[in-house]
Amino acid sequence: MERNRRSWSWPWPLFSVFLIAPLLFSVLPTTSVEARKHHHSNKHSNHRKGSDSGGFNPPADSTTDSTTYNVVSFGARGDGVTDDSQSLVGAWKAACQLPGATVKIPSGFRFLMSPVNLQGPCNGQLTLQIDGTLLAPSRVGDWPKSSLFQWLNFKWVQNFTIQGSGTVDGQGSQWWTPSSLYYVQKMSKYIPDVKPTALRFYSSHGVTVRDIRIVNSPQCHLKFDYSGGIKVDNITISSPENSPNTDGIHLQSTRDVEIHHSNIGCGDDCVSIQSGCSNVHLHHINCSPGHGISVGSLGKDKTAACVSNIVVDNISLRNTLAGVRIKTWQGGVGSVKNVSFTNIQVSDVKYPIIIDQFYCDKHRCENQTAAVAISGVKYDQIYGTYTAQPIRLACSTTVPCVDVDVADIQLKPSIAGIPSSASLCWNSYGKSQAPLLPSSIDGCLRRDTAYVKRVARSHEHVC
């Protein structure tokens, strides 16, 4: 009876569990619904990549920096077949919002990219780290008609850097072959009247491009339009000698530029400086093959051209059409002034020194009296070998070139039989200073007079 009368008591161990559990859950780390969804999606995405690409499994990104946006994390496959352009756009938009962010193109991948526009302004310094390979569409017919001016177009960016050990491959061979373009016309009833530039910057400032390789662009490899504060350092540009119009670096209406310690080989000008450019410094550049370092062509179709304060020094040119040259069309207006070419080494260059105010890329061009005025040009310490003509200064009949100075020129024919005295100088004024080889260069320039300078400078008013 005593055992039956024992009173009921509270189960304290069980009660303690109910009491403490809410406190434990309040301090333990939790995973949000969105994070779980994102994790599940990533697992599914990785599994799909492995099964759809024949066992292709990209290496995991080890980056832990929260300011780095890897295109693989935005769905890029990097198999060289799938179009990854929208992944690049997505990574760009995310990085653009964060100061000091980086868009990463990882090594070990080949990313096929349709033409894209990457726009600013962004929130502070932004970097595009290219360590892998970017591939343009290889077939002309795969390019949309609306995107033929450029492939990777950067617009309105500021304080921006492209760098890395990777390659930007324009896969331009079909654009250089008339038979390929004929096939496109036959299939789609049109031939593109322009060819894409690989990398183009428009209205951008504080831009640095360094270390990367740009190869086989359909047309120009690297172009700057209406931009300023440009630095290009230690890049390599490469396309075959017979690839038409594949300029290495093209500057248009761009100021305050430094391009240095780079190797450029292409089918046109290694560096082309066009109207609206000023304060440009090129130095320590190797150019081979190509058409040399060019100011122009300027003044086409009677347009105005203004170029000033150009310094080109410590340049090596080998097997190029021209060395350093200025070229303008008849009928243009404006001026080219304060241009210096110093310490230029040429090897088997057809025409090492050129001013051509009768430039024409057609079978025949109409003679016109107007011309872009050229003044204040210096050629100093230019030496090496040529294959056709050491110097050619062909200035306008009505607008002479003035203040053209040559000094310490030592040019020899690279093979026997080339006349060492072959030079053409027409309506060019300035002074020469020994040593000069060939010696005929000494008689190339007429003496400046006040009248001649006045005539020349009367054409500079548009600038």
Which of the residues are catalytic? 291
For 367-420, strand residue ranges (E) read: 373-386, 391-394, 401-413
How far apart, in whole angstroms, are the C-alpha atoms of residue 259 and residue 238?
16
How far apart, in whole angstroms, are the C-alpha atoms of residue 224 and residue 243?
21
Spatial strand order of the sheet with 222-225 comes to: 116-119, 150-155, 197-202, 222-225, 249-252, 271-273, 293-298, 322-328, 351-356, 391-394, 423-426
How far apart, in whole angstroms, are the C-alpha atoms of residue 338 and residue 50?
60
Contact 249, 271 (CB under 8 A): yes
Distance linking the first and last C-alpha atoms of the chain: 120
Which amino acid is it at 417?
G
Q: Positive or negative, the Cα torsion across 82, 86, 90, 92?
A: positive
45 phi, psi to nearest 5 deg: -65, -45
Q: Among residues 90, 206, 195, 64, which one has the least CA distance to residue 140?
A: 195
- Write down the residue that tokens 């038979």 correspond to: 179
Element (H, E) at 227: none
Q: Positive or negative, the Cα torsion across 360, 362, 363, 367?
A: negative
Query: 455: burial class by Cβ within 10 Å (0-12, 13-18, 19+)?
Result: middle
| DSSP SS3 for 237 | strand
Instruction: Tell me, rounded to whole angstroms, the distance of Cα 40 from its chain centroid.
Output: 41
